[in-house]
Structure 1
Amino acid sequence: MAGRQINQGLKTALELGPVVGFFVAYLWLKDRTFTFGGTEYEGFIVVTAGFIPVFLLSMAVLWWLTGHLSKMQIVTAVLIIVFGGMSVWFNDPSFFKMKPTIIYLLFGGLLGIGLLRGQSWLEYVMEGVMPLTHRGWMLLTKRLMLFFFGLAILNEIIWRTMSEETWVYFKTFGLTAAIFVFFILQGGLFKEHGTQGESDDKA
């Protein structure tokens, strides 16, 4: 069911605001250590603990304003609670850093299952936003599946081999930029397989 329309700037602020807030808070607190209940927590853990409720609040406001959350937003929220919560509970940032890997493996795997069934679950998730032929949806789904798997591998390489600050920059800007560039590069596919009210009668 389609949600109510709201100002695009407000929608973007609600979706990206928590991520930007995480980045700013991390730069501010990354070199500090905090003690709660006799246990020391690095700035990254404290920022993660603050990010979880802020993200959930932004999603709640978005749902209240639009009456709708995408399936990807819901899954992302659940994984943020689980892996962010584990990082805070065990005082170990590794769990939160693995979150993008799990998200992209999950999304890529689900798209792959759909492809094996001869279906584009991406078309279902995006709810007809882009007018494409069946073949166009299948091609885009296959490419996005491989792209998600690539991002999962890249996230693992970066958080395991590079500094924490490098990973934060990658998560905040790199992943967003990569997704934007991916869809820009699909211009040829959209042009070739786009529909303007035409039925897909190609084999």
Structure 2
Amino acid sequence: MSESLDQLPGGPEPVPAAPPAKHGWLNFAIDFGPLLVFFLTYKFTAGGQGAFAATAGAIKGTIAFMIAILVAMGISKWKLGRISPMLWMSGILVIGFGALTVYLHDPKFIVMKPTIIYAVFALMLLGGWWFKKPMLKYLLQSALDGMTERGWLLLSRNWGLFFAALGIANHVMYVLIEAGRMSFDTWLTIKVWGVTALSFLFTLTQVPVMLKNGLAVPDGEAK
């Protein structure tokens, strides 16, 4: 499943990582290749000083990210024979919000956009949990073999709360940037790499939940 949900100004947000299947190296490249393309483009094109002076670099990085996610989707279809629902959602969000980012060219929108996306994911997952509809199950499909309905509901709730916390944290950083107490570069580094690390750590905390609720473990890993 794609980690390229909004890790950056032009795309959507981090999502739980499924246990690696065959072609694991290719899945990793599809997930993180576009993110690396964005960050390198930004670093080599951004310039200037001040809270929002790096907007131009972020815009160029966003354009590169939009192209990279399309390439990743094409490679997934070619090599793996399918495009996962999560990668489809990533692509739609990256292209949609990326186009808005380029069109508006507004640094405030660049920083606030992740809060909007986090809120959408939180509402979707928590709303599904409230109505006993595990939305995460529909996005990940067979990525977590053997998971019970209760397990999917617990994961949807937990990830919904995680996204809500990320949304609050991003809004706090927006306020700090507006007040001149945080730089755009600092925010971007936290947004791209800090959130990625946090999502992996949070995924690890969910392993016991998955194991207690039917996650199928290959024989080689169970020993």
Instruction: Please state which band the TM-score falls in when normalised by the shorter chain.
Output: 0.7 to 0.9
- Segments of 5+ residues of structure 2 without an aligned counterpart are 1-20, 49-54, 177-181, 218-223
SS of residue paired to 1:42: helix
Q: What root-mean-square deviation, in Å, do the aligned CA atoms of Structure 1 and Structure 2 show? A: 2.5
1:171 aligns with 2:194: no
Q: Deviations over 1:137-158 (max 9, x none)?
A: 2222211111111112222222
Q: In the aligned structure 2, how far is the partner of 1:143 from the partner of 1:126?
A: 15
CA contact (8 A) 2:77 2:83 kept: yes
Highest CA radius of gyration, 1 or 2?
A: 1
Task: For residue 176 of structure 1, report the CA deviation from its aligned partner.
Answer: 1.2
Q: Deviations over 1:2-27 (max 9, x none)?
A: xxx86221221122111112112222
CA contact (8 A) 2:46 2:58 kept: yes
Amino acid in the other structure paired with 2:92: V
Q: Which stretch of structure 1 is more off in the superposition, 174-183 or 55-64?
A: 55-64
Corresponding residue for 1:107?
121
Amino acid in the other structure paired with 1:67: G
CA contact (8 A) 1:84 1:96 kept: no
* CA shift in 2, pair 1:146/1:55, >3 Å: same
- Segments of 5+ residues of structure 1 without an aligned counterpart are 33-40, 198-203
Q: Which stretch of structure 1 is more off in the superposition, 165-174 or 71-80?
A: 71-80
Higher RCO by CA contacts (8 Å cutoff, separation 6 or greater): 2
Give the TM-score taking structure 2 as reference length: 0.72
Task: For residue 159 of structure 1, report the CA deviation from its aligned partner.
Answer: 3.8
Q: Deviations over 1:59-96 (max 9, x none)?
A: 22222322322323222222222222222222223333
Q: In the aligned structure 2, how far is the partner of 1:196 from the partner of 1:168?
A: 37
Q: In the aligned structure 1, how far is the partner of 2:73 from the partner of 2:215?
A: 32
Q: In the aligned structure 1, how far is the partner of 2:125 from the partner of 2:185?
A: 31
Q: In the aligned structure 2, how far is the partner of 1:50 from the partner of 1:160?
A: 28
Q: Deviations over 1:70-124 (max 9, x none)?
A: 3232222222222222222222233333343233222222222222222212223
What is the correspondence of 1:84-123 to structure 2 with a 5 Å cutoff?
Answer: 84-123=98-137
* CA shift in 2, pair 1:51/1:118, >3 Å: closer
CA contact (8 A) 1:45 1:88 kept: yes
Q: In the aligned structure 2, how far is the partner of 1:191 from the partner of 1:46?
A: 42
Within the candidate set 15, 20, 24, 2:40 is matched to 24
Q: Deviations over 1:19-58 (max 9, x none)?
A: 11211222222116xxxxxxxx722222222322222222
Within the candidate set 153, 167, 178, 1:152 is matched to 167
Give the TM-score taking structure 1 as reference length: 0.78
1:193 aligns with 2:208: no
* CA shift in 2, pair 1:93/1:72, >3 Å: farther
Corresponding residue for 1:36?
none
Q: Which stretch of structure 1 is more off in the superposition, 155-164 or 135-144?
A: 155-164
